[in-house]
Amino acid sequence: DSGVTQTPKHLITATGQRVTLRCSPRSGDLSVYWYQQSLDQGLQFLIQYYNGEERAKGNILERFSAQQFPDLHSELNLSSLELGDSALYFCASSAAGTSPVQYFGAGTRLSVL
Amino acid sequence: EDQVTQSPEALRLQEGESSSLNCSYTVSGLRGLFWYRQDPGKGPEFLFTLYSAGEEKEKERLKATLTKKESFLHITAPKPEDSATYLCAVQAFGGTASKLTFGTGTRLQVTL
């Protein structure tokens, strides 16, 4: 168990809908990362938050947004969903300081029908 | 742009048959190279971090090595429970981001 908790495990929805994915980082970790894993592209970095502030953005679509709350949990919001958004979404967390190891949650499998 | 290429895409070994997985990378300045193991439907599980050329790390039947251009994950006398996808990722120095750039992985199957 990595200590990173993601909910829900599975999400099935329709095109055009909006969903929210939730992540609780490991105790004490200030950084949260979101990654998307699809069959043809592997793990792709979406966005990073550090202690409530956005730190870096990857190839995240404008339809997607995220935030990190004062208790350090994070949410990834996906709107106007398309069939191509179907993928596994992973959250990872890391501690501050010199050890940059990211620990991953079990993921949320999103199916857009 | 940071890039990671892993080979082979898939590898089938018999139990006890040792082999190596390759990870070639290009990065502006390497902060760390990471190996993860991923089982189907699960999140990546951290295995090793390597920071500089010449560094080696071992864990049970796995040994990771690093040069300036590539990393190898050596699997000695593998067992069926070693079957998984092995992911390599790099983290670069610079800026405020600590993102990982992943390769597409090597799917390892170990049979009896």
Three-state SS string over chain A comes to CCCCEEECCEEEECCCCCEEEEEECCCCCCEEEEEEEECCCEEEEEEEEECCEEEEECCCCCCEEEEECCCCCEEEEECCCCHHHCEEEEEEEECCCCCCCCEECCCEEEEEC
Contacts for B71 with CB less than 8 Å, ≥ 6 apart:
B22, B23, B25, B33, B35, B50, B64, B65, B88
Average confidence (pLDDT) over B16-29? 95
Evaluate if residue B95 carries a pLDDT over 80: no
Whether B94 has its CB under 8 Å from any CB of chain A: the answer is no
Look at residue B97 in the predicted model and tell me its pLDDT.
67
Q: What pLDDT is recorded for position B96?
A: 60
Least CB–CB distance from B97: residue in A43, A48, A90: A48
Q: What is the pLDDT of residue A41?
A: 77
- Nearest residue in chain A measured CA to CA from B95: A56
> Which candidate from A55, A100, A107 shows the least CB-CB separation from B43?
A107
pLDDT at A35: 97
Nearest Cα residue in chain A from B85: A42
Residue A1 binned pLDDT confidence (cut-offs 50, 70, 90): confident
What whole-number distance in Å separates Cα of residue B84 and Cα of residue B87? 10
Contact B100 A43 (CB under 8 A): yes
Flag if B34 and A101 touch (Cβ within 8 Å): yes
Residue A95 has pLDDT above 90, yes or no: no
Q: Do A45 and B98 touch (CB under 8 A)?
A: no
Asked if A48's CB is within 8 angstroms of B101's CB, the reply is no
Question: Chain A residue with minimal CA distance to B43?
Answer: A106
Predicted pLDDT of residue B98: 83
Average pLDDT value over all residues in chain B: 94
Hey, which of A37-46, A48-57, A98-107, B15-24 has the most confident mean pLDDT? B15-24
Q: pLDDT per residue over A44-80, tens digit each?
A: 999 999 999 999 999 899 999 999 999 999 999 999 9
For A13-38, the pLDDT digits (tens) are: 999 999 999 999 999 999 999 999 99
